[in-house]
Structure 1
Amino acid sequence: MNSKSMQILKLIFSVLLFNKRSYQLMESDALAEQFYYTAGVVEFRPDATGMTDALSDHLQAYKDLIGSVEAEDVDIIVFPEGTLSKDFQLTYVPSKKDNVIPCSLPEEENIYADFLVELSCAAQTFKKYLVINLTEKEICWINANDPRPCSRNGLNIFNTNVVFDRDGRVVSRYRKTHVYVENKNTTYEQEYGIFETDFGVRFGHFICFDILFYTPAQELVERFGITDIIFTSKFYSELPFLTAAQLQMGWSWGNNVNLLAAGASYPVNGSTGSGIYAGENGILVSVMVTGNVGERKLYKAKVPKKNLKIPPSNLASPTMTANNLPKSLRLLKDPEIENFSSILLNLQQRTDVEGETLCHGNLCCQFNISTSTMDSSMPNYYYRLGVFEGKRTYEKKVWNNIKICSLYACVTESVSSCGELPMPNNLNSSVIFRSISIKGLFKKSKHLLIMPNSLESNLLPLPATKVNWSKSLQGDSYEVSHQLTSETDNLLTFGIYANYYEGSAAERLPLPSLLHD
């Protein structure tokens, strides 16, 4: 065979090899699209100066993030609560049944605010699903079934999520149910935010304070079977059990649903916390901004579709972002922490706790802990074991019935210092927790969420690879176990958190008419 023939054969072989590799890549991409979707959540710093042109600044920043290189492969982007417009910058919002694309309306027919139109256009231009939060106005007599009196200006004002599809069409609208220290209206008939996508995932969505109650948050999972949840928030973190990422992770895991959580980034005012979570597979990405200044950043992850059983080993390693120690983040404190049945752990005298049982009311939990200590010149945390059964209130004088079994950190030996961080933060932990096992029996209830609860000193929850969680029905109670399986230091919280929704002061029973908007 001459050299020319050899060159031709080599060329043919190279082409065949290239085509094979191209086919394999295409096949790999197709498989990835079949099993995953790519989601982005935005941790967004609102302008804090109160300047009148903050809306234009926010809008441009939103559009820059939507059109960024980082967002090119993202199917759906979620923005936080309360970071686009101010309360006096209102817009009408079409319902899903109106089938409206604000971007495509003639100017003379367009009744919507410019910022809503521009974001509809951004969704259309970049072919992405977008979830935004804004302040909506609606003529109050539009719902003839509502017997409540109108305000003098004839408007209802809502805290509203709006969802655009890839054409810029409004495919879902949801008004916040549980307003939190806000001068906003609520709907007379309960509404639910539910929408379908072209990548085969059905989403439900709600806003901030809603996450602590059965309607609509838990109801989307239990009643409607939604497996992928969107959570827009401007959440005020509370130690030691309800900091933002800690709650997001626990809620996702307890329900075994995917959760896309976008948080306002204003740490000096107490707001931060975003992430993407894959239920019992844990954190895909999680962030808490604890410095002086918030950020405007897109965090993204490939999210496994819940209707397909994807082994945890096939998931990417979690991305977790936080400062080592909170510097300027304002934190609330659990108002019931001093009412727990608790004991102080003296880990200088004993390194192991075996079969310690604590009870409060009808709840009893058993604790087994193994530790070792490190030499440290800095002051150290103290730790308590605590159990609580009862009501806990929020700032708006609403409450949940909760049950908690947990280990948690304190600044001093006094119970009043639990759930606090010293300022400046000059404490560390000389304790290495080698293993923790907490077990309890939780009475079965019609509307109940039991979730794992953990927190490290960077205000992020522990990854799924470090814990074991189990819940099984035994007669009329759930036997629940939460175990630490990898050595951990700088631990702030580790426990079991149960929310009994029935009887909550904010319980809103679903009405017969279901409005999916």
Structure 2
Amino acid sequence: MLLIIPPRGSHASAAVFILSVLEACTLDSYIAAVYEHNVILSEDTEIPVSAEDAFMLMDKNMDILEAAIKAAAKQGAHIIVTPEDGIYGCVFRRETIYPYLEDIPDPQVDWIPCTDPERFAASPVQKRLSCLSRNNSIYVVANMGDKKPCNSSDPRRPRDGHYQYNTNVVFDSEGKLVARYHKYNLFMRDKQFNYPKEPEFMTFNTSFGYFGIFTCADILFHDPAVVLASRFQVDTILFPTAWGNTLPLLSAVQFHSAWAMGMGVNFLSTNTRNSSLAMTGSGIYAPDGPRTYHYNTEMENGHLLVTELSSRPRLSPTYPAAVNWKLYASSFKQLPSNDHHFSGVVYRDLFSFTELTEPKGNLVSRFSVSSPPQICTLLKCKSTDLKSCGQPVETAQTKFDMFSLSGTFGTNYVFPEVLYSGVQLAPGEFEVLTDGHLISWTRTSRPVLSVTLFIRWYEKDPPHTEQASP
């Protein structure tokens, strides 16, 4: 950026000049990339290894990530997101993860590890990531481990005298560390890590938009996920994850695309590929639907997705209007209720189901739920046995000429999901209207697995604990 120093008394004109230069450098769109990575895993995560052996494993994974980064850069990508646990894998104990960790400094130190690797403690992973971003002129987002000492007076002090964090890092196209985020909502298998005392709301600005970042189970909670989208009003969320698909309502592409639509943000989601843990499903999602996504349980190889997004989606003429989720459903008069009621279990929660017995017509179900998630769903049962309703199923045979789903809820945090047979999304085949109902206008192109309004009543969440769970 060219900066002209004005004569004394010209501060206002200088401010206007700088602002106009920044505006001129802002891109209307950018190329985003995510890479679903089949991670090379340690042979035994129960046995401690040396720092040298730990880096050898991480270097093998970064060799694969390097090929993906170079391929994305050749396609003009401005930024690439790699998955959670993508450098060393998962299922470690606290002691055995330690050799894989580095001390990651606060980004305010203004550091390019690629050109100044000796400035801090040994940081070979940060150096390589920095050089990958710098040599390919691309922002690189990666997940790694951070270690931080703590003093003896700290009441939260772990027994071994230091904190270990599941950490996302972002290096800009010059190789500079511009963001560091410590995962706040740890999943049940994340026992090797600590969570920060307070949630971190990590954002950074670029010439192609305003970005926020969080990790995996964070998406299920208010802090930091909702705060970044609603209060900070970021344009794009970066989301490294190691997400085990849990149908019928929480497969990766299903829920992540719905969250992007419900919160009105671009969402770059990249998953680890691990068939033994049911992990697959990555995508690049816009507020009005998916731009590209990948879900494949058959192939074990990695997969790169690259596409264009609006840099400032909130300024786009196609940005979805605000939705009043109570308006449509509350306008209905009391309709006769279907008699085919029965109970079923989804994720250990008891649901009230109504069997669809007619080829067409209206179905009204009235119920009161006080738990944090409220779910209104049309879903396929696993078999004709009604007891199978709510169990995971990936294929269906029934198409719908049209459907409409609505309800009155205690919150506006509503995430609309439409999932077709084969765990495929339905871009452009449904719409959420401003009066608060999800509707399809034409016959579905594939058989339907589920149509869902997934509601999160965050105010009813229990206090934050170290282990998060869906």
Q: Distance in 1 between matches of 2:241 and 2:443?
A: 32
Does residue 140 (structure 1) correspond to residue 150 (structure 2)? The answer is yes
Match of 2:176 in 1: 169
Question: Which one of the candidate residues 185, 196, 206 is aligned to 2:205?
Answer: 196
Does residue 213 (structure 1) correspond to residue 221 (structure 2)? The answer is yes
Alignment of 1:315-330 (within 5 A): none
Match of 2:353 in 1: 342
Q: Does the 8 Å contact 1:133/1:159 carry over to 2? A: yes
Off by >6 Å, runs of 4+ in structure 1: none
Q: Does the 8 Å contact 1:43/1:297 carry over to 2? A: yes
Question: Which one of the candidate residues 86, 89, 92 is aligned to 2:103?
Answer: 92
- Cα-to-partner distance string for 1:345-386 (whole Å, 9 max, x where unaligned): 23xxx311x22211222xxxxxxxxxxxxxxxxxxxxxxxxx
**What secondary structure is seen at the aligned counterpart in 2 of 1:54?**
helix
Match of 1:438 in 2: 405
Q: Distance in 2 between matches of 1:390 and 1:272?
A: 32
**What secondary structure is seen at the aligned counterpart in 2 of 1:77?**
strand
Does residue 40 (structure 1) correspond to residue 36 (structure 2)? The answer is no
TM-fit CA distance, 1:75: 0.3
Match of 2:77 in 1: 74
Q: Could you say if the C-alpha distance between residues 418 and 33 of structure 1 is closer, same or farther in structure 2, counting changes exceeding 3 Å?
A: farther
Q: Could you say if the C-alpha distance between residues 33 and 106 of structure 1 is closer, same or farther in structure 2, counting changes exceeding 3 Å?
A: closer
Match of 1:159 in 2: 166
TM-fit CA distance, 1:459: 1.1
Q: Which amino acid aligns with 2:304?
A: L
**What secondary structure is seen at the aligned counterpart in 2 of 1:61?**
helix
Q: Distance in 2 between matches of 1:345 and 1:44?
A: 40
TM-fit CA distance, 1:106: 5.0
Q: Could you say if the C-alpha distance between residues 308 and 71 of structure 1 is closer, same or farther in structure 2, counting changes exceeding 3 Å?
A: farther
Q: Does the 8 Å contact 1:92/1:111 carry over to 2? A: yes
Q: Does the 8 Å contact 1:211/1:217 carry over to 2? A: yes
Q: Distance in 2 between matches of 1:69 and 1:340?
A: 44
**Structure 2-normalised TM-score?**
0.79
> Larger Cα Rg: Structure 1 or Structure 2?
1
Alignment of 1:318-467 (within 5 A): 334-336=346-348, 339-346=350-357, 350-352=358-360, 354-361=361-368, 389-391=369-371, 401-421=372-392, 428-429=396-397, 431-443=398-410, 445=411, 448-463=412-427, 465-467=428-430
Q: Could you say if the C-alpha distance between residues 428 and 467 of structure 1 is closer, same or farther in structure 2, counting changes exceeding 3 Å?
A: closer
Q: Could you say if the C-alpha distance between residues 307 and 71 of structure 1 is closer, same or farther in structure 2, counting changes exceeding 3 Å?
A: farther
Q: Could you say if the C-alpha distance between residues 44 and 254 of structure 1 is closer, same or farther in structure 2, counting changes exceeding 3 Å?
A: same
Match of 1:122 in 2: 132
Count of residue correspondences: 396
Q: Does the 8 Å contact 1:245/1:286 carry over to 2? A: yes
Match of 2:12 in 1: none
Q: Could you say if the C-alpha distance between residues 84 and 334 of structure 1 is closer, same or farther in structure 2, counting changes exceeding 3 Å?
A: farther
Q: Distance in 2 between matches of 1:93 and 1:157?
A: 11
Q: Distance in 2 between matches of 1:189 and 1:134?
A: 20
TM-fit CA distance, 1:205: 0.5
Q: Which amino acid aligns with 2:401?
A: R
- Cα-to-partner distance string for 1:96-137 (whole Å, 9 max, x where unaligned): 111111112153x34143122111011111111111001111
Q: Could you say if the C-alpha distance between residues 222 and 307 of structure 1 is closer, same or farther in structure 2, counting changes exceeding 3 Å?
A: closer
Flag the structure with higher strand content.
1
Q: Which amino acid aligns with 1:82?
A: D
Question: Which one of the candidate residues 464, 468, 471 is aligned to 2:431?
Answer: 468
- Cα-to-partner distance string for 1:200-253 (whole Å, 9 max, x where unaligned): x11000000000110000011112111211111001121111110001110000
TM-fit CA distance, 1:72: 4.0
**What secondary structure is seen at the aligned counterpart in 2 of 1:220?**
helix
Q: Percent identity?
A: 26
Q: Which amino acid aligns with 1:44?
A: H
Q: Does the 8 Å contact 1:35/1:308 carry over to 2? A: no
Q: Distance in 1 between matches of 2:390 and 2:85?
A: 27
Q: Distance in 2 between matches of 1:251 and 1:436?
A: 21
Question: Which one of the candidate residues 265, 268, 276 is aligned to 1:268?
Answer: 276
Does residue 249 (structure 1) correspond to residue 235 (structure 2)? The answer is no
